Amino acid sequence: MIEIKNICKSYGSKQVLDNVNLTVAPGEMTCIMGASGIGKTTLVNIVAGIVVPDSGIVLGMDNAKVATVFQEDRLLEWETALSNVLFVTSPARQHVSTAKSLLTRAGLADSINKKAAKLSGGMKRRVCICRALIADYDMLILDEPFKGLDGDTKLVMMQLVKDNLRKGASALCVTHDVSEVEFMGGKLVGL
């Protein structure tokens, strides 16, 4: 169980989070919606341990393994799609096979050995999702993971995430689209 208790965070004089409380159960997909600039990304970055809150605490994340799809792609541009996915795991044979399978399901079978710098924006986004899914995690954080994907590709990637969410792992998904929440079977939380 992950408990977010009384989280507050300001950037200068702008307070973006004010006493936020949230509980995420094991195996649960929690989807966070709210207006732009309200602190959704800040909140998930606090949960991931990337940002330190001004006050409040996140319980249940001690020693937790986190996999993240950031809003930005954050790929190794000089590496292949496959190498980027395998970057978060060991290159053991079963991981290579799983990575290739994920990339194929994501519609990237012909691009497995292409350098990330040569991929389109939507292709890079799919590589990022595959990379997060192959990682060993207790908490999967998805910060607008499907942005920039066309309708059909978005459906494929939402199904891929749904099918590959680790058993017993928790997930936090930032979205602006209620249809994503419904498709993923997530619990909706507004900020």
User: What pTM did the predictor assign?
Assistant: 0.92
Determine the Cα–Cα distance for residues 89 and 107; give it in Å rounded to an integer. 21
- The residue assigned the tokens 């590959």 is 164
Tokens of 184: 């993923």
Determine the Cα–Cα distance for residues 136 and 65; give it in Å rounded to an integer. 7
What is the per-residue pLDDT across 117-159, written as a single tens digit (0 to 9) for each? 999 999 999 999 999 999 999 999 999 999 989 989 999 999 9
- Give which of 144, 136, 166 is closest to 64, Cα–Cα: 136
- Give which of 2, 74, 75, 13 is closest to 43, Cα–Cα: 2
Long-range Cβ contact pairs of 91-98 (< 8 A, separation 24 or more): 95/134, 98/134
Q: What is the mean pLDDT of each run of 10 residues along the chain (191 residues)?
A: 94 93 91 89 93 94 92 93 90 81 96 96 96 94 93 94 91 91 87 75
Cα→Cα distances 108→90, 114, 116, 125, Å? 21, 10, 12, 11
Can you list the domains of the chain with their CATH numbers? 1-61+168-191 (3.40.50.300)
